[in-house]
A and B are shown apart, each in its own frame.
Chain A
Amino acid sequence: MMPLLTTKGLSRNFGGLRAVDSVDFTLMPSEIRAVIGPNGAGKTTFVSLVSGCIQPSSGMIVFDGADITGLPAYVRVRQGIAYTFQITSVFANLTAYDNVALPVQRTLSDGRSKGAVRAGVMAALERTGLADRAHMPAGQLSYGHQRLLEVAMGLALKPRLLILDEPTQGLADSEIDNFITLVREIAGSATVLLIEHNMPVVMQLADRITVFNAGKILAEGTPEAIRENVAVQEAYLGTAP
């Protein structure tokens, strides 16, 4: 089977800092992959490179068999890479409805009808549990709900690869349960790359886990293998047995 996403020697420097350092990474279709690692390990920078938000210093990104390294971000989105930001960046002055309508109206295949936009928006809002807040300005939603709105916007892009950057930050425990169900559902039609700090969430969702540390991939494997991995425990969990 052909990988959905491959990076080769992907690097990004900020001044003297190598935030992402020669990363070779492979992601298979319809996988749920979790990316974990301590703060500052380079996880957000890595997915920003994949989504096209920032440009690599060197290296190459291949999506669905084609080199996308030089493509602008909006073209990558159209090819099916959706990215939900770690730092919430919903359109604060627009309603939740309008926030989701933007991705819905672009991916709509049947062109004109107003009803289709409404149906698409309400479906995405319902899946994320925000339907009753559709007409609130996004900036007035609670932090957790803004995170969910980000997810709804990503969903509405009908991506082949959905990148979620710490989506459960600020969610209540009950909302986290719903979120886990939602990601499983999404994984039915898309590959999911999930950066997540909440270990129970990671262990429940991930097919495989990639551990980042200091810009490099430290380890990769099944949740069980990663749990047993001594190096990971030292770097990330901070507790050598």
Chain B
Amino acid sequence: MSEASPAKAYGLHLGVIALLFVLSFLLPEYYHGLLARIMVLAVFAMGYNMLFGYVGLLSLGHAMFFAAGLYGAGLAVIQLGWSVPAAFAAGLGCGVVLSLVIGLLALRTTGVAFMIVTMMFAQVFYLVILYFASWTGGDQGMVVPQPARVLFFGATALDLTNPTMRYMSALGLFSLVLLITLAIVRSRYGRVLVAIRENEERTKMLGYDTFSNKLAAVVISGIICAASGAAYALLFGYVGSSFASVQYSILPLLWVLLGGGATTLGPLIGTLFMYYVIDITSGYTSAYLLIVGIALILLVLFFPKGILGSIRQRWLGWLP
């Protein structure tokens, strides 16, 4: 894992970022908007992958971290009238606090118990959102008004509802998180996380406090997912409770499984692929979810390591 030359690894990732940048000027309007959304959701998947792929902790409650960012940022704008950067920071802050608390509690368990505990906490979070409907809009959700989605740099106003601005903001966040993930997995800390995934008891016997390392990973994962949620609220203007539902805990798992767990670019590929398949099949039949389900089953059966994981295994061993 750590042996790929840095130039090769960073070159590939910068190449992907450059490609996404160029696509902004080539794509027709519909796909342009879709790709912006996919990049934001790929950030969610990258956050999930940090914990699931690299540490081997399967959470079924990550919707709560996405929703913490979504509601943290959304409520800050709508209810408190905060500016865009302050609201984004509020979303991140909610993600940090929530993931720290959840990590401290849920990491007492492992395996199936960890899955169930995280799912229960996410369900509680979802019900809390519905309960405080007068603040959160309940199951109707809230729309972030367009005038509030403008970023001011002195006299310059950057309108996040403008398609190009929105695309570039999404790309900016995606690129930042991608490069941070790459740096983490290539670092000494990344090596310890993989060791914990492979054999936690042995890692302890090398002098590592595995609990603290796992807790840090939960918080990093939580911040990244919250960043995705906060960006979603500010770029697409909708804050809804469905994003806190169990469906949004399972989606990032599917995206990562599809693209390839423990690969830095897998989350993007998985998210892209899923949207692409949904897009194509929904044009032909109303039973498109059935087809998506079958495609997923086939992939997991024949490519258990996901798209990029299989490519790494067969051809490109150096992929981070």
Contact = CB atoms under 8 A, between A and B. Distances in A.
Top-4 shortest CB links A-B = A77-B207, A105-B188, A91-B198, A74-B204
A98 interface: yes
A211 interface: no
A153 B195 contact: no
A22 interface: no
Contacts of B198: 91-94
Given A98-B191, A105-B191, A91 B199 contact: yes
A107 B206 CA distance: 10
A98 B205 contact: no
A111 to B, nearest CB: 10
A130 to B, nearest CB: 16
Interface residues of B, number: 20
8 contacts: A74-B207, A77-B207, A91-B202, A102-B191, A103-B207, A105-B191, A117-B188, A157-B207
A106 B209 CA distance: 11
Interface string A64-87: 000000001110011000010100
Contacts of B205: 51, 53, 73-74, 77, 83, 85
Nearest to B188: A105
A72 B1 CA distance: 30
Contacts of A90: 202
Contact of A103 (B1, B2, B206): B206
Contacts of B204: 72-74, 77
Nearest to A72: B204
A108 to B, nearest CB: 9
Given A89-B199, A91-B198, A106 B191 contact: no
A210 interface: no
Contacts of B208: 74, 102, 106
B3 A135 contact: yes
A209 to B, nearest CB: 26
Given A91-B198, A94-B194, A94-B195, A102 B2 contact: no
Contacts of B202: 85, 89-91
B83 interface: no
Contacts of B281: none
B70 interface: no
Interface of A: 51, 53, 72-74, 77-78, 83, 85, 89-95, 97-98, 101-103, 105-107, 117, 135, 153, 157
- For B1, B3, B202, B203, the residue with the greatest tally of chain A CB atoms inside 10 Å of its CB is B202
A92 B194 CA distance: 12
A85 B199 CA distance: 13
B1 A98 contact: yes
Nearest to B203: A102
A94 B207 CA distance: 18
Nearest to A80: B207
B171 interface: no
Contacts of B3: 95, 97, 135
A146 B199 CA distance: 16
B161 interface: no
Interface in B212-249: none
Contacts of B210: 74
B192 interface: yes
Contacts of A94: 1, 194-195, 198
B209 to A, nearest CB: 5
Given A85-B202, A95-B3, 8 more contacts: A51-B205, A77-B204, A89-B201, A91-B199, A102-B206, A106-B206, A106-B208, A107-B207
B207 A98 contact: no
| Central interface residue in B195, B198, B204, B205, by most chain A CB within 10 Å | B205
Interface in B176-198: 188, 191-192, 194-195, 198
A49 to B, nearest CB: 14
Nearest to A107: B207
| Most A-side CB within 10 Å, residue of B192, B194, B202, B206 | B206
Contacts of A77: 204-207
Contacts of A89: 199, 201-202
Contacts of B1: 94, 98
Nearest to A106: B207
Given A89-B202, A97-B3, A117-B188, A78 B207 contact: yes
A85 B204 CA distance: 13
A101 B207 contact: no
A11 B172 CA distance: 60
Nearest to A101: B191
A97 to B, nearest CB: 7
Contacts of A91: 195, 198-199, 202
A153 B191 contact: no
Contacts of A72: 204
A106 B208 CA distance: 8
Nearest to A92: B198
A234 B3 CA distance: 54
Contacts of B199: 89, 91
